[in-house]
Amino acid sequence: MPEGHTVHRVAVLFRDVFVGHPVEASSPQGRFRDGAELISGQVMSDAWAVGKQLFVSWSGGMVLRVHLGIYGAWSVAGDTSESSIGAPRTRREEGFRRAAEDSFPPEPIGQVRLRLLSDAVVADLRGPTACELLTPDEASDLMATLGPDPLVGKPAKNKARFVEKFQASSTPIGVALMNQKMVSGIGNVYRAELLFRHRLDPWQPAKSLTQEQLEDLWDDWTVLLKQGVKTGVMVTRGDLTPAGRRKALRSSSWRHYVYKRTGSPCLACGTPIAMAEMATRKLYYCPQCQDATPPTGG
């Protein structure tokens, strides 16, 4: 689902199946008709992700930017093992892939903003919060506003930039982690899980963390992101046996320490997991392990 790992996965897929090939673009839904016409028939030059943003460059020089938001997703069919990347669309994905086996390309299902179609693969985009064409300069400007992404650029430089930004911010760490200008790709699941994994109080100012704590946090984010890109699933528990990990890949109830576990016993100490609003999103945490209490007593 759409945190940073998702978008990197889409970029990998596109590089694998589309880059170097002419691609037909269309907007079955109609809301991106003009943009689709501008790039249709061009060769996809490159595809890459920075945090939650996907960039796709074309032989004509334009750059497509896609942001999935909370419920955007790509449905994929044809000559690829991928089926769906993004928010859950399970039922529809199955129908889509079956339809593609009968006749290629299959009819679009639902509100398809953008369809990308090559000889062998079709990718349908539904529900994005952003889908637009940019000039290369506009794309560069946008990328420059984003915080470091562990999979973009040089590791040492990224880490230093992360530490520097957080040491300069008095924002609560639980808010800062969700700010894409501070660090790229972390969403509501990774936020809660990273904070728990490091036993951090979400309301503690970012700058109050030690250099070592910040470096550990960055290293851990790097590990989680790489795992997420590899498997397509956010498994954030580090206490699972190999069998437990396999279960977690299939069932969401095994994946997380605290996310969506309100009232259930903490897997480390047994204290009921708590939930509070933070940065307009639901934050899940262990009051005991993270020594955390919402400031206004909510």
Partner DNA sequence: TCACAATGAACAA
Partner DNA sequence: TGTTCCTTGTGAC
Figure out which of the listed residues 33, 67, 226, 247 binds DNA, where binding follows CB under 7 A. Answer: 67
3-state secondary structure of 253: helix
d(C-alpha 12, C-alpha 151), whole Å: 12
State how far the Cα of 277 lies from the Cα of 284, in Å rounded to an integer: 9
Minimum distance, C-beta of residue 261 to DNA, in the bound complex (Å):
12
Determine which helix (DSSP H) or strand (DSSP E) holds 130, and give its type and residue range: strand 130-134
Among all chains, which residue has been given the structure tokens 């970029």?
A: 11
Cβ(229)–Cβ(8) under 8 Å?
Answer: yes
Give whichever of 45 and 282 is closer to DNA, judged by the CB atom: 282
* Among 41, 272, 24, 212, CA closest to 124: 24
Does 174 bind DNA (CB under 7 A)? Our answer is: no
- Whether the Cβ atoms of residue 234 and residue 3 lie closer than 8 Å to each other: yes
Work out how close the CB of 178 gets to DNA at its nearest, in angstroms, rounded to a whole number. Answer: 6
Nearest distance in Å: CB 293, DNA: 18
Among 33, 161, 245, 281, indicate the residue that binds DNA (CB under 7 A): 281
| Annotated catalytic residue, options 52, 165, 191, 261 | 52
Active site includes 93? no
The answer to whether the beta carbons of residues 272 and 264 sit under 8 Å apart is yes
Say whether residue 3 binds DNA (CB under 7 A).
yes
Binding segment (CB under 7 A) for DNA, from list 106-114, 158-166, 207-215, 264-272: 106-114
Marked catalytic residue, from 15, 247, 260, 281: 281
Cβ neighbours of 100 (radius 10 Å): 20
Given 8, 9, 65, 89, the residue binding DNA (CB under 7 A)? 89
Q: Which residues of 175-189 are buried (b: 16+ CB within 10 A; e: fewer)?
A: bbbbbbebbbbbbbb
Determine if 70 is a binding residue for DNA (CB under 7 A). Answer: yes
Q: What would the two tokens of residue 213 be?
A: 């704590």
Catalytic-residue membership of 52: yes
Restricting to residues 186-245, which ones interact with DNA according to CB under 7 A?
187-189, 234
Q: How far is the CB of 268 from DNA (least distance, A)?
A: 21
Q: Catalytic amino acids?
A: 2-3, 52, 281
Residues in touch with DNA (CB under 7 A): 1-3, 6, 29, 31, 51-52, 67, 69-72, 87-92, 109-111, 113, 126-127, 129, 178, 180, 187-189, 234, 252, 260, 280-282
